[in-house]
Amino acid sequence: MAIRNLFPKPDMHSIPVFGNFFRLTFVENHGAVFGIDPKLGNLTNIILLLLHIIAITVIIYLFIKNKHSLPRFSFTLILSGAFGNLIDRIFFGKVTDFLDVDFLNLTIGKWQIDRWYVFNIADSCIVVGVILLIIYYLFVENSAKEEEILEKE
């Protein structure tokens, strides 16, 4: 809500914080990740609401099932981000994005990103949580399994 109040005029869209590198930019995302919008009107919002609820249910199940602290912390970050975006979608019918950072320029074939997509804190929580889960499952859990195998031999 604070970001919505920070941009009261329709023509005011961006506030530089650290020059062009970091800006607060008001964007209303009607679609999904990276602004992907299937253009189905209200049906888009209903589908995304249902997907949020399904994802939250699955993540809660995984949180309860897992007893290790790093995955549980990761699931907590992902859940908090999912709930944050869900609340925006319920109350406004869209997600409010506002963090505008010029990370790096990417070119993959004909696909090019000159400036990263505008995102919010909830998105950041989800990304950090997923990265921590990847690290855990690739390095920590695999190492523990290898140690168990070596101990049994």
Q: pLDDT, tens digit, for every residue of 101-142?
A: 987 777 778 877 777 788 999 999 999 999 999 999 998 877
- pLDDT at residue 38, as a whole number: 66
Question: Is residue 97 annotated as a catalytic residue, yes or no?
Answer: yes
Q: Between 5 and 79, whose confidence is greater?
A: 79
* 115 close to 23: Cβ distance less than 8 angstroms: no
Question: Is residue 100 annotated as a catalytic residue, yes or no?
Answer: no
When pLDDT is averaged across residues 17-46 and rounded to a whole number, the result is 79
Rounded CA separation 48/146 (Å) = 40
Q: Which of 97, 100, 102, 114 is catalytic?
A: 97
**Res 10 pLDDT > 90:** no
66-104 tens-digit pLDDT: 999 999 999 999 999 999 999 998 998 888 899 999 877
